[in-house]
Structure 1
Amino acid sequence: MTTRPQPTHGVSMQDLRLIGVDDDGGHLLLASVDGARFRVPLDESLRAAARRDRPRLGQLQIEIEGGMRPRDVQAMVRAGMSADEVAERSGWTVEKVHKYEGPILAEREYVAGLGRAVRLRQRGGSGPSTTLGQRVADRLTARGVEADSIEWDAWRREGPEWTVAVNFSAGGRVRQGTWAFDVASRSLHAKDDEARWLSEDEPAATPVPREAPVYDVEADGGLDAAGRRSRADDPVDLVTAMRERSGGPVPPRVPPSRVGAGGCPALGRCRAVAPRRPRRHR
């Protein structure tokens, strides 16, 4: 190499020439025209410069300066952040963010399309299936939402699971429904009430419980008949039943709680009656 001072941005620079490799194998040895010696580490940035690998050199320069790497910026875009939000957090300009966000935005759009194409099962497994996108469109149309206002998106933050989202305007404000989406299995489930309303099956018809019959006092025999009906499980008094049928006088009914041993009223006296013997016919 020849020495040739070069003004760069007002600073005079001196050329150095390569004179060898250090004994440790990790440094290059350089010398100036006046015999001064220098060494420079043989690191990845120097190798990239020798290969003229400009993209890699740019990334290494960012790391050396302590800034964010492009893949860190792309991770923020993949997580759903806008270019303005990424620029504010990373210290980059919005124009610089735009240079790296293109592939990630395409990835998000592709995953959102996969989520919309997932086929939803009908309740009970009967009837034709439909896609998530079609069912959401049908539900929103029934709600009076303009089809042009429906926007789909997808993002991934931590782990392999993506979030698929639909945004729409209803009731004077922007609403959003989100689903957790497994790309590998093409399965998803609603994460909020809006998504459940938009994608889940209509509830199955359930039988209406029968109401208890209303007792008509006049038509069904008066209050006494109602009382007798409520005591349907009480023991049957044969004597009383026979007298009721014959039209004879009916003795007052003694509540079961006031009947003592042997069928006598607990507070009254009981007279033992010997059973009658059957007559013999001559």
Structure 2
Amino acid sequence: MRELRVVGLEPDAKHVVLADPTTGDKFRIPVDDTLRAAARGDLARLGQIQIETTSQLRPREIQARIRGGASVEQVADEAGIPVAKVERFAYPVLLERSRAADMAKKGHPVRPDGPAVETLHEIVTQAFRARGHSLDEAEWDAWRDDEGFWVAQLRWHAGRSTNRAHWRYQPDAHGGTITALDDIAADLVDPDCGRPLRYLTPVYSARDVDDSTEAENAERHAPIALESPAAEEPAPEPVAAEETTVAVTVPDDADASRTSQAPAKDKRGKPALPSWDDVLLGVRSNGRV
């Protein structure tokens, strides 16, 4: 890089005259804001001037886009300038949006019966806990809409889907009020916050219905197998108790009247059985032989 030295000003004082000490060639540059900022070492002013001259967006327009919800990357792509140059003007606006989001979390959601006693953050925490979500993984943000109101956003992931809820925040002396702007936001601040956000209904195709009908008809017309009862085994014949037959010898001269005599009975009225000795000795139950 060649070095030049300042020779002086032109008579109109609108240009600075520079000269090359080696060759003696002279150059001039206009005395403008860029030169003045460079002479002071004001890098912020130099960056702003560069954006104004190389970008279609002025610094105020860049801040207005950021305040309206645009990201630094979006503004940089739109303006055709590096992200670092946009961040220089976006930083104070991003802080403003962060403070607005914190204030919105302390606002009171408006319900049909009036503002809730709990804050938006407290109600959303209960709703997330009831649905099994973690509020620590969610992101809060805020920006100004076209009407000048602050819009608070809560974004979180549930499975493979990204959910977003939006409320309008109006500050006041009591912490501000929160009004839901979409169905998800209304569900989160609803008193019955334990219910799921979406109700899923199974959808059946015509093929599923046909398959179900065929299966039902096949089951209806299928032959019914009757179980044949097991062959009953014949019941075992009762085993009769062994009977002991005692032969009693009766003499031939025994009186016929004696044979027809009724047997003796015991005290209970039952026939008396002869004892074993009577059987061996041939004695009758009445004591006669």
Q: TM-score range by the shorter chain?
A: 0.5 to 0.7
Q: In the alignment, which residue of structure 2 is the partner of 1:164?
A: 152
Q: Secondary structure at the match of 2:5?
A: coil
Q: In the alignment, which residue of structure 1 is the partner of 2:80?
A: 91
Q: In the alignment, which residue of structure 2 is the partner of 1:59?
A: 48
Shift of 1:143: 2.2
Shift of 1:195: 1.2
Q: In the alignment, which residue of structure 2 is the partner of 1:187?
A: 177
Shift of 1:29: 5.9
Q: Secondary structure at the match of 1:130?
A: coil
Shift of 1:66: 4.1
Match of 1:30 among 8, 17, 37: 17
Q: In the alignment, which residue of structure 1 is the partner of 2:188?
A: 198
- Identity between Structure 1 and Structure 2 (%): 33
Structure 1 segment 115-130 matched on structure 2, within 5 A: 115-120=104-109, 124=113, 129-130=117-118
Unaligned runs of 5+ in 2: 193-289
Shift of 1:152: 1.4
Q: In the alignment, which residue of structure 1 is the partner of 2:8?
A: 18
Shift of 1:92: 3.0
Shift of 1:54: 2.2
Structure 1 segment 138-153 matched on structure 2, within 5 A: 138-153=126-141
Counterparts in 2 of 1:99 and 1:125: CA distance versus 1, 3 Å: closer
Q: Aligned partners of 2:101 and 2:145: how far apart in 1?
A: 15
Deviations 1:25-84 (A, max 9, x none): x72463758999876544333332343322112221332334644444443333333343
Q: Aligned partners of 2:74 and 2:144: how far apart in 1?
A: 16
One-letter identity of the residue aligned with 1:143? R
Q: Aligned partners of 2:33 and 2:5: how far apart in 1?
A: 22
Q: In the alignment, which residue of structure 2 is the partner of 1:48?
A: 37
Shift of 1:141: 1.9
Shift of 1:192: 0.8
Q: In the alignment, which residue of structure 2 is the partner of 1:132?
A: 120
Larger Rg: 2
Tell me the number of residue pairs that the alignment of Structure 1 and Structure 2 aligns: 189
CA contact (8 A) 1:77 1:86 kept: yes
Structure 1 segment 214-253 matched on structure 2, within 5 A: none
One-letter identity of the residue aligned with 2:80? G
Q: Aligned partners of 1:13 and 1:171: how far apart in 2?
A: 62
Q: In the alignment, which residue of structure 2 is the partner of 1:242?
A: none
C-alpha RMSD of the superposition? 3.7
Q: In the alignment, which residue of structure 1 is the partner of 2:70?
A: 81
Shift of 1:133: 1.1
Moved more, 94-103 or 129-138: 94-103
Q: Aligned partners of 1:187 and 1:109: how far apart in 2?
A: 18
Unaligned runs of 5+ in 1: 1-7, 203-282
Structure 1 segment 249-268 matched on structure 2, within 5 A: none
Shift of 1:21: 4.9
Counterparts in 2 of 1:158 and 1:45: CA distance versus 1, 3 Å: farther
Counterparts in 2 of 1:184 and 1:13: CA distance versus 1, 3 Å: farther
CA contact (8 A) 2:5 2:19 kept: yes
Deviations 1:86-105 (A, max 9, x none): 33223233455455544333
Q: In the alignment, which residue of structure 2 is the partner of 1:266?
A: none
CA contact (8 A) 1:121 1:129 kept: no
Shift of 1:109: 1.7
One-letter identity of the residue aligned with 2:125? A
Shift of 1:112: 0.6
Match of 1:174 among 158, 162, 166: 162
